[in-house]
Amino acid sequence: MAALEEEFTLSTGVLSAGPEGLLGVEQSDKADQFLVTDGGRTVVLYKVSDQKPLGSWSVKQGQIITCPAVCNFQTGEYIVVHDNKVLRIWNNEDVNLDKVFKATLSAEVHRIHSIPGAEPLVLFSSGAIRGLEALLAEPQQKIETLISDEEVIKWSKFFMVFKHPVLIFISGNHENYFVYVQMCKSHSLSKYTLLLGKEEKSITPKFTAYVDRKFISLMSLSSDGCIYETLIPTYSTDTEKNQRLVRSLVLKAVVSGGARNRTTLTNLDQDHVAVLGPPLPASKECLSIWNRKFQTLQSSKEFPQGTSGQLWYYGEILFMLHGKCLTVIPYKCQVSSLAGALGKLRHSQDTGTCSMPHFVNWEMCEGYELESHSAAQSRRILRRKKMEASLQPEVPGSEQLLSIINKDSEKHIEVELRKFLATSTPDFHTLLGDVITGLLGRCKAEPSFYPRNCLMQLIQTHVLSYSLCPGLMEIALERADVQMLQLCLQQFPDIPESATCACLKLFLSDTMQDEEMEEQTEVVQNGFSPKDSNCSNENQELSEKPGAAKTVSCPVTPKRAALLNGILHSAYSETFLLPHLKDIPAQHIVLLLQYLNFLYLKCSGNAAMTLPGVNPPTLSQIMDWICLLLDANFTVVLMIPEAKRLLTNLYKFVKSQICVYSELNKIEVSFRELQKLNQEKNSRGLYSIEVLELF
């Protein structure tokens, strides 16, 4: 579980952080020591565990440091550039920067990059790159121009990929962003065009990158608050100029889209990324750790005094400017267990003012932007192929199906869906979710569109649940499609009590009754189980019995009985069901009670206390429902004259049951006494003579 530990500040007395914040924080060759370069003239070497500066160097008045000081890990010297062109190299022992080694270069330096195990690289504003040694050998050498005049380097980073130093930088003009990858060994430079969304034009996204095997994974935090990932190959495939790079969505809405400047991100490891910025438009700035794999927020910390929108990360320590203070936050990430990775939800969810979900929903694809997302997804799947092979568009089956769903006729959809269901892909479940969401979305949009057969087919895959397609039962209820509802009741394990009750209402309603009359003849065609006819047959048999004291007849038609049985089987929790039961009209309550009473009488008719047929309601289900209904509506039912007889019957029944049980209790006590006597006989005392026969 990734976690941010207690932060502490470094004394910044000597630093003068400008409005732009610090120039940079860089590692030094000793662990725990970091070079901090402020926006003006000063470089400070800090020992972080002591929270103290070890040394501080300043350039002369009038000069200005233009590039953060770095450490040359090979020699242990520090390097800084001031006034764009003047390079200074000094040691820990040096006191005055004026008196140290100086080299004036012929072109403006953008940055010096240094990482352990490699020679420092100087990146010129023109895009040219030189090794430090080569440069110092001939400081005035001519520096070529690689990027066009309009382009400005926005961001750069230096990596080791398989022991080869690689420098990547991004430059941009007003229109486009380009990624340059410089392989230092082979001196090959690859250029890629970064394709960004439309909204990106005005604001430069923030970048971070890490090496993922053969690729450099470049992540960008766009002004819409989402993190996108772009994979850049570290080997140049061909010399073809201007390859394009597509990006895919990694995390959605990690910071508020409105935050313009003070956001940044940095990659922590394979799975975790730290994001700095306000999560909501109005909120304070926050440092959040996100797990990309599980799309969860792992940890978050608020910075009420504002930050400079800068974040540095070296070996488990995060640096940032909080207010005027340089803040150090140790970051720990243990090898993640699933529970750890799943993280926690942010507490500020209840503000309710923001329309954007500020944590990533598992069902991201649901609801909105279905198409774009699945497109992005498929793009992501194909990304590597694309890198290696051509850019030939290849539309997968599911995508095609989704587009068909959105446009074509019911018939066509049905045919295509059947084809789709016949194949089984590993992500069948998710695709099925996409498909049903697409169908339901279109249903809502076009009132005339109701692909009943498709939906039935989908339900019968046994994969769907209520929470996966909450709209399905709603639509079926709207259209009073009882068959669909019955199927849902059978198949879905997680129907909420409100939906169950809505179904019950519909099943009991008079419209049903009318329909029934019409459709009476085509019961079988509608797909009801043969159990129902059994039920009615037996019912008739029962009523035909001459000896029966009371003629018991089913108060509802077999069709309705089958539907009600579906309800009786559904799972519920009393507390949630009771309030909904109160909404059912009294007449319907009575009808249902009559039906339940009928079921009960049938049940108690045989010794096993069961009903005939396939999957009939059990006695306890029947009794529970009777109790529930009476609990919810007793006062109402009491007032209805039709219910009087029923209630009397039930009352008599309960009374007789109490009688029986009290008798049983008495018998139990006597039995216990008998058992005791028997035990005493068994214990026999200390001595006895018995007969034993061995066989």
Residue closer to other proteins, measured from CB, 185 or 684: 684
Between 296 and 335, how does the x/- string for binding to other proteins read (CB under 8 A)? --------------------------------------xx
Residue closer to other proteins, measured from CB, 639 or 686: 686
Regarding 185 and contact with other proteins (CB under 8 A), the answer is no
Residue closer to other proteins, measured from CB, 635 or 683: 683
Strands 129-131 and 121-124: antiparallel
Tell me the closest approach of the beta carbon of residue 687 to other proteins, in angstroms. 5
In sequence order, which ranges of 308-356 are alpha helices (DSSP H)? 338-342
Residue closer to other proteins, measured from CB, 61 or 334: 334
Tell me the closest approach of the beta carbon of residue 1 to other proteins, in angstroms. 12
Residue closer to other proteins, measured from CB, 202 or 679: 679
> Which residues, listed in sequence order, are joined to residue 272 by a DSSP beta bridge?
291
Ranges within 330-359 binding other proteins (CB under 8 A): 334-335
Q: How many residues does the chain have?
A: 695
Regarding 692 and contact with other proteins (CB under 8 A), the answer is yes
Regarding 688 and contact with other proteins (CB under 8 A), the answer is yes
Ranges within 506-535 binding other proteins (CB under 8 A): none
Ranges within 79-98 binding other proteins (CB under 8 A): none
* Number of other residues whose CB lies within 10 A of the CB of residue 434: 23
Q: Which residue's entry shows tokens 């800068």? A: 310
Tell me the closest approach of the beta carbon of residue 685 to other proteins, in angstroms. 8
Tell me the closest approach of the beta carbon of residue 526 to other proteins, in angstroms. 54
C-alpha 626/C-alpha 463 separation (Å) is: 32
Tell me the closest approach of the beta carbon of residue 32 to other proteins, in angstroms. 23
- CB neighbour list of residue 210: distance below 8 Å, 6 or more residues apart: 159, 216, 217, 267, 269, 270
Strand order in 24-27's β-sheet? 24-27, 33-37, 42-47, 52-58
- Of 607, 614, 639, 686, the one binding other proteins (CB under 8 A) is 686
Residue closer to other proteins, measured from CB, 362 or 687: 687
Residue closer to other proteins, measured from CB, 240 or 690: 690
Tell me the closest approach of the beta carbon of residue 3 to other proteins, in angstroms. 15
C-alpha 477/C-alpha 475 separation (Å) is: 5
Backbone angles phi, psi at 520, to 5 degrees: -45, -40
Per the rule left: phi > 0, alpha: psi between -120 and 50, beta: everything else, 57 is: beta
Backbone angles phi, psi at 38, to 5 degrees: -90, 180
Tell me the closest approach of the beta carbon of residue 341 to other proteins, in angstroms. 15
What the block records as the tokens of 509 is 């309603």
Residue closer to other proteins, measured from CB, 362 or 695: 695
Residue closer to other proteins, measured from CB, 445 or 692: 692
74 exposure class (CB count in 10 Å sphere: 0-12, 13-18, 19+): middle
What the block records as the tokens of 251 is 């995390």
Q: Which helix (H) or strand (E) holds 460?
A: none
DSSP state of 30: S
Regarding 690 and contact with other proteins (CB under 8 A), the answer is yes
Residue closer to other proteins, measured from CB, 608 or 692: 692
Ranges within 392-431 binding other proteins (CB under 8 A): none
Tell me the closest approach of the beta carbon of residue 282 to other proteins, in angstroms. 41
Between 251 and 290, how does the x/- string for binding to other proteins read (CB under 8 A)? ----------------------------------------
Stretch that binds other proteins, among 112-120, 261-269, 665-673, 687-695 (CB under 8 A): 687-695
Residue closer to other proteins, measured from CB, 337 or 355: 337
Ranges within 664-683 binding other proteins (CB under 8 A): none
3-class secondary-structure state, position 653: helix
C-alpha 135/C-alpha 589 separation (Å) is: 92
Tell me the closest approach of the beta carbon of residue 338 to other proteins, in angstroms. 14
* Number of other residues whose CB lies within 10 A of the CB of residue 316: 13
Between 151 and 180, how does the x/- string for binding to other proteins read (CB under 8 A)? ------------------------------
Tell me the closest approach of the beta carbon of residue 342 to other proteins, in angstroms. 18
Between 101 and 120, how does the x/- string for binding to other proteins read (CB under 8 A)? --------------------
- Of 352, 393, 447, 685, the one binding other proteins (CB under 8 A) is 685
Tell me the closest approach of the beta carbon of residue 693 to other proteins, in angstroms. 4
What the block records as the tokens of 670 is 């006597």
3-class secondary-structure state, position 131: strand
Residue closer to other proteins, measured from CB, 335 or 445: 335
C-alpha 349/C-alpha 388 separation (Å) is: 43
Residue closer to other proteins, measured from CB, 213 or 684: 684
Tell me the closest approach of the beta carbon of residue 211 to other proteins, in angstroms. 25
Amino acid symbol at 398: S
Tell me the closest approach of the beta carbon of residue 268 to other proteins, in angstroms. 20
DSSP character string of 240-308:
-S-EEE--EEEES-SS-TT--SS-EEEE-SSSEEEEEE-SSTTSPEEEEEEETTTTEEEEEEEETT-B-
Q: How far from the centroid of its chain's Cα atoms is residue 333's Cα?
A: 20
Burial 332-356 (b: 16+ CB within 10 A, else e): ebeebeeebbebeeeeeeeeeebee
- Of 339, 607, 608, 689, the one binding other proteins (CB under 8 A) is 689
Q: Which residue's entry shows tokens 């190959």? A: 233
Residue closer to other proteins, measured from CB, 239 or 688: 688
Say if CB 277 and CB 259 are below 8 A apart: yes
Rg (CA), the chain: 38
Residue closer to other proteins, measured from CB, 549 or 692: 692
Backbone angles phi, psi at 443, to 5 degrees: -55, -45
Number of residues that bind other proteins (CB under 8 A): 14
DSSP state of 205: P
Tell me the closest approach of the beta carbon of residue 680 to other proteins, in angstroms. 12
Tell me the closest approach of the beta carbon of residue 694 to other proteins, in angstroms. 4
Backbone angles phi, psi at 636, to 5 degrees: -65, -45
Q: Which residues bind other proteins (CB under 8 A)?
A: 334-335, 684-695
